Amino acid sequence: MRYLKQLLAWLALIGLAACGGGGSGNAGTPGLGGGGGSLADLVIVLSSDTIANTGAATVTATVTAVDSNRRGVSGVTVTVGVDNNAVVSQSSTTTDATGSVTATIGIGSDRSNRNITVTASAGGITRSTVLRVVTDPNSGTPVASDLSLTLSAPSVTNGGGSTVTATVTAVDSNRNAVGGIPVTFTVDGGATATVSGATTNPSGVITATIGIGSDRSNRVITVTATSGTLVRTASFAVTGAKLTASASPLVVAGSANVIEYTLVDFNAIAMASQSITVSGNGLPTVTGTTDLNGKFRYNYTAPASPTTLTIVATAAGDQNTQSVSVTSAGTGIPAAAEFPQSASVTPTPTVVTVNTVGSSSNQVELRALFVGANNKPIKNVRARFDLAGNASNTDGVISMVGSYAYSDDNGIARATFTPGQRSSPTNGVTVRVCYDTVDFASPSPTSCDGAAHTATATLTVSSEALAVSIRTNNQIKEGRNGLTYIKEYVVMVVDSAGQAKPDAQITPSVDLDGYYKGHYSWNGTTWAQVMTLASTEKYVWNGSAWELNTGAADVICPNEDVNRNGVREAGSFGAGVAPALAARQEDMNWNGELDPRKSDVAITMVGSAKTDANGLAVLQIEYGKSLGSWLKYTITVTASGVAGTEARARYVGILPVMASELTVETVAPSFVLSPYGNASACTNPN
Q: What is the SS3 assignment for 270?
A: strand
Containing domain of residue 482, as a range? 468-662
| pLDDT over 50 at 544, yes or no | yes
**Alpha-carbon gap, residue 620 to 488, rounded angstroms:** 4
- Residue that terminates a domain, selected from 437, 462, 487: 462
- Position 414 scores a pLDDT of 92
Q: Are residues 351 and 452 in the same domain?
A: yes
Rounded CA separation 399/405 (Å): 10
> What's the average model confidence in pLDDT over 465-484?
89
Do 488 and 623 belong to one domain?
Answer: yes
Q: What confidence score (pLDDT) does residue 34 get? A: 47
Is 657 within a domain? Answer: yes
pLDDT attached to residue 71: 93
Residues 429 and 486 in one domain: no
- Say which residue, 569 or 225, is predicted with more confidence: 225
Residues 500 and 624 reside in one and the same domain: yes
Model confidence pLDDT, tens digit, residues 253-276: 888 999 999 999 988 888 999 999
- Residue 555 dihedral angles phi and psi, to the nearest 5°: -85, 105
Residue 130, domain member (yes or no): yes
User: How is the beta sheet containing 295-301 ordered, strand by strand?
Assistant: 242-246, 256-264, 295-301
The pLDDT value given to residue 124:
93
What CATH number is associated with residue 261? 2.60.40.1930
pLDDT, position 31: 36
Q: Is residue 678 part of a domain?
A: no
Angstrom distance (rounded) from CA 170 to CA 211: 23
> Is residue 112 included in any domain, yes or no?
yes
Nearest to 273 by CA among 288, 261, 258: 288
How confident is the model over 106-149, as pLDDT tens digits? 999 887 788 999 999 999 999 999 999 887 766 655 678 899 99
What residues have CB less than 8 Å from 375, skipping those under 6 apart?
none
Closest alpha carbon to 415 in 428, 396, 390, 439: 396
Number of domains making up the chain: 5
Rounded Cα–Cα distance for residues 297 and 246 (Å): 10
* Amino acid at the residue 203: S
CA distance 206 to 149: 10
CB 632 within 8 A of CB 513: yes
Q: Which of left, alpha, beta for 92 (phi over 0: left; psi -120 to 50: alpha)?
A: beta
CATH of the domain at 453: 2.60.40.10
Do 651 and 638 share a structural domain?
Answer: yes
Say whether both 253 and 159 belong to one domain.
no
Instruction: Report d(CA 309, CA 187) in Å as an integer.
Output: 40
Q: Which amino acid is at 440?
A: F
Same domain as 421, residue 478:
no
Measure the CA–CA gap between 76 and 39, rounded to whole angstroms. Answer: 8
Residue 609 forms part of a structural domain:
yes
Position 95 pLDDT exceeds 50: yes
Alpha-carbon span 396 to 458, nearest angstrom: 13
Cα 230 from Cα 669, distance rounded (Å): 74
Model confidence at 98: pLDDT above 80? yes
| % of the chain beyond a pLDDT of 90 | 59
- The last residue of one of the domains, among 300, 327, 354, is 327
- Grade residue 336 by pLDDT with cuts at 50, 70 and 90: very high
Ramachandran region of residue 589, left (φ > 0), alpha (ψ -120 to 50) or beta?
Answer: alpha
Minimum mean pLDDT among 20-29, 62-71, 287-296, 379-388: which range?
Answer: 20-29
Please check the confidence at residue 512 and state whether its pLDDT lies above 90: yes
For residue range 586-641, list pLDDT tens digits in order. 889 998 899 999 999 999 999 999 899 999 999 999 999 999 999 999 998 988 75
445 and 379 both lie in a single domain: yes
| Residue at 220 is within a domain | yes
Look at residue 301 and tell me if it is in a domain: yes
Burial class (CB in 10 A: 0-12, 13-18, 19+), 198: exposed
* Contacts (Cβ under 8 Å, ≥6 apart) of 351: 459, 460, 462, 497, 499
**Cα gap 569→554, rounded to integer Å:** 25
Q: Are residues 297 and 433 in the same domain?
A: no
pLDDT in tens, 196-212: 999 999 899 999 999 99
Q: What confidence score (pLDDT) does residue 16 get?
A: 39
Share of the chain above pLDDT 70, in %: 92
Give the pLDDT band of residue 397 (cuts 50, 70, 90): very high
Q: Is the pLDDT of residue 324 over 50?
A: yes
Instruction: Reply yes or no on whether the pLDDT at 176 is more than 90.
Output: no
Both 619 and 588 in a single domain? Answer: yes
Q: Which of 427, 462, 497 is the last residue of a domain?
A: 462
Sheet holding 59-66, edge to edge: 41-46, 59-66, 100-106, 87-90
Span 495-502, average pLDDT: 80
- Residue 665's pLDDT is 94
Instruction: Examine residue 646 and state whether it is found in any structural domain, yes or no.
Output: yes
Predicted local confidence at residue 140, as pLDDT:
58
241 pLDDT above the threshold of 90: yes
Query: What pTM was estimated for this model as a whole?
Result: 0.54
Task: Please indicate, yes or no, whether residues 565 and 494 belong to a single structural domain of this protein.
Answer: yes
User: Are 499 and 530 part of one and the same domain?
Assistant: yes
